[in-house]
């Protein structure tokens, strides 16, 4: 059995910061021991990694990605191969992607399709959530089978009428089913029916630029949908995870629900923490690069999101990685913002941007690891296999240089998309080496992994319940 020792680093988990050496055996963490102590100095190993001056972190868990997602007549530009490779570059060793049920088809068919896309192609491990587009008797029954086999979370949409949208009755039925089978309902909380009216009015009045995407997707319509989702979950007796929360008033709804003791959880994304409507308003159609839903908000929302992350009103930061090239894809919406495919690239830079938040004083180091690694693993039934460094856990380990400076740019990133939403941004901190189940994927900033190393992860149910 191969043995690796990582020595000299500061091991940071959600609960601890310890100066310890880490022994990896057969792809799993075997032991931790204080630097210079007897067990650590006597460990034999096939490989020794010097982590002096570095952080030793659990691999990141990005619980919200859309590789090759069909949207608005095109497909997200990253395949499972390119997207998981980029994830590895950024210190993310697990993704949970969204398989999609097509209207009129079964969940099984959608899941099989996503398995076929990912199988043998991933650089790091992956699991699936299921998007429920067609809630009916048969798909409700299928939910039970999926939970039993490790697809334990289901996304529903209050937005996108005619595409993914479910009405309140369908949402309630899915939540009732989840309350019985242990599944977790993930909600895209925006009032899509009202938004579509505002879209039509904006276009009729000649307001066609990307910034109007943000204008019509009102804060009130995110907050209202979040409130409604909470009440429906409460009636169903089901837990609720609200995805890509961007608005201060939506955070308030989640906080109020949690204050009542309801099992309601919230996720936000780096784009809402670092970008704003100023980006959507960039001239010359540049704003299209920042079109996603929920939309970017005015800057003042950012402080509410940071506060929510600090005080656990929000539990998880995922990327909602859904990249579309500017050229040929985002451009489909020139003259009509509603035709710009919704989504932004980000899977590569979540760990770095959140480390920058540590540097800037928004988060502690342990909270960084918690919201990016441990909490998503717990939320989606992967802990402690993923999300921590402890004996028995998978040896998904990131050696992170907290002092390295880098400039984020499309010229140097590894995502298959022709722009960066963070072009030119200087950040402090960079991934040096990444192990996935003990196997190097990134070694001293060189990619040494391969497509097919990543394996499928059947998941347990939410561990916060």
CA distances from 374 to 75, 317, 325, 384, 404 (A): 30, 11, 31, 8, 24
Residue closer to Zn ion, measured from CB, 188 or 289: 188
**Count of residues near ligand URP by CB under 6 A:** 9
How buried is 259 (Cβ within 10 angstroms: 0-12 exposed, 13-18 middle, 19+ buried)? exposed
- Residue 217 binds ligand URP, judged by CB under 6 A: no
Backbone angles phi, psi at 428, to 5 degrees: -105, 130
- How does DSSP assign 30-75, residue by residue? EEEEETTSHHHHH---SEEEE-TTSEEEEPEEEEEE-TT-EETTEE
CB 164, min distance to ligand URP, A = 8
Residue closer to Zn ion, measured from CB, 66 or 385: 66
How buried is 72 (Cβ within 10 angstroms: 0-12 exposed, 13-18 middle, 19+ buried)? middle
Burial 373-383 (b: 16+ CB within 10 A, else e): bbbbbbbbbbb
CB 150, min distance to ligand URP, A = 22
- Residue 121 binds Zn ion, judged by CB under 5 A: no
Which one among 29, 184, 264, 322 touches ligand URP, defined by CB under 6 A?
Answer: 322
CB 343, min distance to Zn ion, A = 7
Binding at 292: pick from ligand URP, Zn ion, none (beta carbon under 5-8 Å per type): ligand URP
Does residue 298 sit in helix, strand or coil?
coil
Residue 217 per-residue DSSP state: S
Residue closer to ligand URP, measured from CB, 181 or 420: 420
User: In 10 A of CB 138, how many CB atoms?
Assistant: 10
Phi-psi region of 335 (alpha: psi -120 to 50; beta: other; left: phi over 0): left
Site string (167-196) toward Zn ion, x via CB under 5 A? ---------------------x--------
- Residue 255 binds ligand URP, judged by CB under 6 A: no
Residue closer to ligand URP, measured from CB, 170 or 244: 244
- Residue 330 binds ligand URP, judged by CB under 6 A: no
- Residue 441 binds ligand URP, judged by CB under 6 A: no
Site string (113-142) toward ligand URP, x via CB under 6 A? ------------------------------
- Residue 343 binds ligand URP, judged by CB under 6 A: yes
CB 211, min distance to ligand URP, A = 16
Q: Which range in 146-154, 319-327, 369-377, 420-428 contacts Zn ion by CB under 5 A?
A: 319-327
- Residue 349 binds ligand URP, judged by CB under 6 A: no
Which one among 82, 181, 226, 293 touches ligand URP, defined by CB under 6 A?
Answer: 293
- Residue 217 binds Zn ion, judged by CB under 5 A: no
Does residue 245 sit in helix, strand or coil?
coil
Backbone angles phi, psi at 218, to 5 degrees: -65, 150
- Residue 321 binds ligand URP, judged by CB under 6 A: no
CA distances from 169 to 188, 239, 413, 462 (A): 16, 17, 43, 24
Q: Which of 2, 86, 22, 3 is nearest to 388 (CA)?
A: 22
Mutual angle of helices 219-236 and 248-259, in 10-degree steps: 20
- Residue 320 binds Zn ion, judged by CB under 5 A: yes
Mutual angle of helices 300-310 and 248-259, in 10-degree steps: 30
Residue closer to Zn ion, measured from CB, 322 or 358: 322
Cβ-Cβ contacts under 8 Å for 81 (sequence gap 6 or more): 121, 122, 123, 451
- Residue 350 binds ligand URP, judged by CB under 6 A: no
Q: Which residues in the 172-201 window bind ligand URP by CB under 6 A?
A: 188
Residue closer to ligand URP, measured from CB, 43 or 419: 419
Positions in the binding site for Zn ion (CB under 5 A): 188, 320
Positions in the binding site for ligand URP (CB under 6 A): 66, 188, 244, 292-293, 320, 322, 342-343
């Amino acid at each position: 059995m191969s043995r690796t020792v990582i020595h000299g680093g500061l091991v940071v988990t959600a609960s601890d910061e310890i100066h310890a050496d880490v022994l990896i055996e057969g792809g799993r963490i075997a032991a931790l021991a204080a630097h210079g102590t007897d067990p650590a100095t006597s460990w034999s190993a096939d490989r020794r990694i010097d982590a002096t001056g570095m952080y030793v972190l659990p691999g990141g868990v990005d619980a919200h990605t859309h590789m090759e997602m069909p949207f608005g007549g095109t497909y997200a530009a990253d395949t499972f191969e390119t997207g998981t490779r980029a994830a590895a570059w950024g210190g993310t060793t697990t993704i949970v992607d969204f398989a999609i049920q097509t209207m009129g088809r079964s969940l099984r068919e959608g899941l099989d399709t996503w398995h076929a896309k990912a199988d043998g192609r991933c650089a790091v491990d992956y699991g699936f959530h299921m998007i429920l587009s067609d809630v009916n008797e048969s798909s409700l029954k299928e939910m039970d089978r999926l939970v039993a086999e490790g697809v334990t979370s289901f996304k529903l949409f209050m937005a996108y009428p005619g595409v993914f949208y479910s009405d309140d009755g369908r949402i309630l039925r899915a939540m009732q089913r989840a309350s019985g089978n242990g599944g977790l309902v993930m909600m895209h909380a925006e009032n899509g029916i009202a938004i579509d009216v505002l879209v039509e009015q904006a276009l009729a009045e000649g307001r066609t630029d990307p910034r109007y995407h943000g204008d019509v997707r009102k804060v009130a319509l995110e907050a209202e949908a979040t409130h409604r989702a909470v009440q429906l979950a409460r009636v169903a007796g089901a837990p609720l995870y609200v995805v890509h929360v961007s608005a201060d008033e939506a955070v308030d709804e989640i906080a109020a629900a949690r204050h009542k003791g309801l099992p309601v959880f919230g996720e936000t994304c780096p784009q809402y923490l670092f970008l704003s409507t100023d980006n959507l308003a960039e001239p010359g159609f540049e704003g299209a690069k920042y079109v996603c839903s929920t939309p970017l908000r005015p800057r003042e929302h950012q402080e509410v999101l940071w506060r929510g992350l600090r005080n656990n009103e929000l539990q998880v930061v995922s990327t909602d990685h859904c990249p579309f090239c500017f050229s040929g894809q985002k451009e489909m919406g020139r003259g009509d913002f509603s035709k710009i495919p919704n989504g932004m690239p980000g899977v590569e830079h979540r760990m770095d941007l959140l480390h920058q938040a540590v540097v800037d004083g928004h988060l502690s180091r342990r909270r960084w690891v918690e919201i990016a690694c441990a909490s998503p693993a717990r939320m989606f039934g992967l802990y402690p296999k993923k999300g921590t460094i402890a004996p028995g856990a998978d040896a998904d380990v990131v050696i992170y240089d907290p002092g390295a400076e880098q400039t984020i740019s499309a010229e140097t990133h590894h995502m298959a998309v022709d722009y960066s939403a963070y072009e030119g941004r200087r950040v402090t901190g960079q991934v040096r080496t990444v192990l996935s189940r003990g196997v190097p994927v990134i070694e001293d900033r060189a990619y040494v992994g391969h497509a097919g190393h990543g394996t499928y992860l059947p998941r347990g149910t939410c561990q916060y319940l």
